[in-house]
Amino acid sequence: MKLTAKHWAWLLIGGPLLVFSIWAIADNTRLYFVTLLNGLTLAALYFIVASGFTLVFGLMRNVNLAHGSLYLLGGYVGFIVAEKTGWWILAVATGFLAAAILGLLMQVLILRHMQGQDMRQTMVTIGLSIVIADLLLWAFTAQVHQMDAPEWLHGPIRGLPLIKAYSAYRLSLLGFGVAIGIFLWWLLTRTRVGAMIRAGVDDRNMLAASGVNVNLVFAITFMLGAGLAGFGGVIGAVELSMVPGEDTRLLLASLIVVIVGGMGSVVGAALGAVILGLAETYGLAYAPTYSVVFTFVILILVLAFRPRGILGRPA
Amino acid sequence: MSASRWRRAMQGGFQQPALQLPARSQPAGSSPASAGGVETDPYAESNAPRWLKFLWRHLSARHVLIFLFLLAYPFVATPFFTFQVAAQSLVLGLIALSLTFLGGYGGIVSLAQMSVAGVAGYSIAIFGVSSTPISLGWPWWVAVLVALFIACACATVVGWLSVRTEGIYTIMITLAFGVAFYYLVLQNYSLFNGFQGFQKVYPPDVFGLNWREPVPFYFLTLFWAMAGYLAVKWLVRTPFGIALQGVRDNPRRMEALGFNIVAHRVAAYAFGGLLAAIGGVLLVWYNGLITPGSINVGWQINILVIAVLGGMRHPIGAFLGSIVFVLLQTFAIDLIDRERFNLVIGIVFLAIVLFSTDGLLGLWDKLRTRMRHQTSDSVASTQRH
């Protein structure tokens, strides 16, 4: 019986998607595939930002609502460094570091002192996000900042099948996303710290009882999560512009990715990012004024049928 | 296993978030324990109506004084203070009250309350009269009723979707709904008129009064704020309210006792939605317009800031918080740059969250107990000498 229900679900979701795909390919092949690539590259960016969010949440049950602010901070820092030195790689590194250090400070100075008080921690991150956002607005004004892509990723790649040409930088986002995914997989499954993090996700108290310095693991994870937001900020700053309000957008994306994919699961974050990225870009391409509705529908469907997300487990 | 051990085991399985502790410092008589129905009623003999007896039992001098002050206020204060400060505080307080009700009594911290208010605001702009041709121009009372109904329905749906998950998840899910609604009204031009929103949405002229004048508008908001406040005060004493607080404190036990916790939570969302919807209609009338900017994430969080600032365990905290908020907003210009208001409110909010578990009211309580300790200490020491 269960199998048939599953089949029905696949049919109900997959059927309309298949019909749409066939129609869209027949209608305008290039648009369809360009949108597909756009969706996947956006998904890569979402994945990088949301994986940090989900790591922190999974381990510490801490909803870091300042995650969007960390993203924006990373972007701005990277922008300054790139402008001063002209080294894009350096900009990425400093963006990562700036957000990571701020995240570490947040964890060590404030959040550590209210462990176990989920709601209060969340309130604190809300307060921090208001303050950080306003300080950034003060320092960088409401002007739109845009970073240049590095030399070696300038211009389009030509001669691709079906879509002819595509921005090299956007394509590289996909590479970054995959690289971060592989890095996280390696970190979580092949290293000692990763084993501790996974153990902490499953049972914090047991981890502490077995002699691991949980505070250190928490600090490292928070740093990594914040750093990933900053990293996303720098590489996103080329494609999406940096302007106050982007922090909200990326926070929303992280929230939805994590809710849809399943909280605390990195694979879930990847799945959620792909779903959200595709839904957003296809929505924008085919139904511009209602594109957010697709996001709504996905959110509602997932919450109605899988309240813990597609790959979520009971806490 | 003995009964007490069993009870401890049941309670131990649930960590209560900081905000969901049972109300401990409410005015006497309104605490859940005494409302349980066993209290002796000194006025049981007299055959006055029940509500009169209720008033008699719970009214104290300070309530009367505050009420008289509120009535006299607009005749003493300047129109600016009546409209911009007092009326705005009351409207924002009413929206924050819906969150206080949900958070303080239901243990549900929903960030979507401003969006519910926004749904009501947009509905009244769409169905009622505005300067945009999209508006349908229905009579004001039909538009208001429809707006309240739609907002309530939306709140119920959001509630139904988010109560299936718990605690910390709720805040994420409601925030996601709120932000998604913001982007929807921002991007959609055919129904929500996109970035521009709706201008010139004014309260109607009824009984020959222009309700946008400061004094009538003040009394309009005062009436609804009082109505909302009293409704919350009344509702938390009803069997439903008591059960809701039980669900907040220990959902598993309530479920074992045969209460439908999902239904209680969804009903709480619906009632909170009604409060927020009334506030939303008044807010649109206050501003005279509604745009995506009035329901963006900043405002969603501001509502939370207001509720937390005042103290989430008391309905009055919402109004206290909104007065502080509006005063800061109005006079931040004098403190520092007007542009830096968010910095001020952010720092105030952080300070409150870091140093008090129950907002300004909590700080006040702490201060009072410390004073009392000090005076009793000093009395003791003088007696000793």
* pLDDT, position B24: 40
Domain assignment of residue A239, yes or no = yes
Note whether B199 and B288 are within 8 A (CB): yes
* pLDDT, position B384: 53
Greater confidence, B381 or B274? Answer: B274
pLDDT of A101 > 90? The answer is: yes
User: Could A289 and B179 be called an inter-chain contact, meaning their C-beta atoms sit closer than 8 Å?
Assistant: no
Least confident stretch, B2-6, B29-33, B369-373 = B29-33
Q: What is the ipTM of this complex?
A: 0.79
Domain assignment of residue A163, yes or no = yes
* pLDDT, position B27: 41
Dump pLDDT digits (tens) for A184-222.
889 888 888 888 888 887 787 888 888 888 888 888 888
Interface test with B, best of A113, A119, A258 (most B CBs within 10 A): A119
Q: How far apart are CA A8 and CA A28, in angstroms?
A: 30
* pLDDT, position B93: 92
Domain assignment of residue A255, yes or no = no
* pLDDT, position B28: 39
- Out of A61, A292, A307, the one facing B164 most closely (by C-beta) is A307
Interface test with B, best of A115, A126, A293 (most B CBs within 10 A): A126
Exposure class string for B261-285: b at 16+ Cβ within 10 A, else e: beebbbbbbbbbbbbbbbbbbbbbb
Domain assignment of residue A299, yes or no = no
User: Could A119 and B19 be called an inter-chain contact, meaning their C-beta atoms sit closer than 8 Å?
Assistant: yes
pLDDT of B343 > 80? The answer is: yes
The whole domain housing A122 covers 33-244
* pLDDT, position A60: 77
- Give chain A positions within 8 Å (CB) of B175: 65, 252, 255
- Rounded to an integer, the average pLDDT of B289-318 is 86
Q: How far apart are CA B85 and CA B89, in angstroms?
A: 6
Domain assignment of residue A251, yes or no = no
User: Could B168 and A291 be called an inter-chain contact, meaning their C-beta atoms sit closer than 8 Å?
Assistant: no
* Minimal-distance CA residue of chain B relative to A308: B165
- Rounded to an integer, the average pLDDT of B163-188 is 80
Closest CA–CA distance from residue B246 to any residue of chain A (Å): 19
Number of domains in chain A: 1
- Give chain B positions within 8 Å (CB) of A126: 301, 304-305, 349
Closest CA–CA distance from residue B223 to any residue of chain A (Å): 31
- The model carries a pTM of 0.80
* Minimal-distance CA residue of chain A relative to B19: A119
Closest CA–CA distance from residue A304 to any residue of chain B (Å): 6
Closest CA–CA distance from residue B184 to any residue of chain A (Å): 6
User: Could B173 and A259 be called an inter-chain contact, meaning their C-beta atoms sit closer than 8 Å?
Assistant: yes
pLDDT-based confidence at residue A296 (cuts at 50, 70, 90): confident
Dump pLDDT digits (tens) for B80-112.
777 788 888 999 999 999 999 988 888 888 888
pLDDT of A91 > 90? The answer is: no
Domain assignment of residue A58, yes or no = yes
pLDDT-based confidence at residue B377 (cuts at 50, 70, 90): low
User: Could B346 and A255 be called an inter-chain contact, meaning their C-beta atoms sit closer than 8 Å?
Assistant: no
* HSE (side-chain half, CA atoms, 13 Å) at A286: 22
Domain assignment of residue A79, yes or no = yes
pLDDT-based confidence at residue B22 (cuts at 50, 70, 90): very low
User: Could B343 and A65 be called an inter-chain contact, meaning their C-beta atoms sit closer than 8 Å?
Assistant: no
* pLDDT, position B17: 41
Name the CA dihedral angle for B359, B365, B367, B369, rounded to a multiple of 10 degrees. Answer: -150
* Minimal-distance CA residue of chain B relative to A123: B353
User: Could A259 and B172 be called an inter-chain contact, meaning their C-beta atoms sit closer than 8 Å?
Assistant: yes
Percent of chain B with pLDDT over 90: 10
3-class SS at A158? strand
Q: How far apart are CA B183 and CA B295, in angstroms?
A: 10
Interface test with B, best of A122, A140, A300, A301 (most B CBs within 10 A): A122
User: Could A126 and B15 be called an inter-chain contact, meaning their C-beta atoms sit closer than 8 Å?
Assistant: no
Greater confidence, A230 or A152? Answer: A230
Strand blocks (E) in chain A: 156-160, 164-167
Q: How far is CA B292 from CA A12, B77, B178, B183, B296, in A?
A: 34, 32, 11, 8, 6
pLDDT of B20 > 50? The answer is: no
Closest CA–CA distance from residue A161 to any residue of chain B (Å): 33
pLDDT-based confidence at residue A100 (cuts at 50, 70, 90): very high
Kindly give, in sequence order, each residue whose CB lies less than 8 Å from that of residue B382, ignoring residues fewer than 6 positions away.
none
DSSP annotation of A163: T
Inter-chain CB pairs, A–B, below 8 Å: 124
- Which tokens belong to A166? 């595509």
- Give chain A positions within 8 Å (CB) of B353: 120, 123-124, 127
User: Could B343 and A134 be called an inter-chain contact, meaning their C-beta atoms sit closer than 8 Å?
Assistant: yes
Phi, psi of B124 (to 5 degrees): -70, -30
pLDDT of A52 > 60? The answer is: yes
User: Could A122 and B343 be called an inter-chain contact, meaning their C-beta atoms sit closer than 8 Å?
Assistant: no
Domain assignment of residue A66, yes or no = yes
pLDDT-based confidence at residue B46 (cuts at 50, 70, 90): low
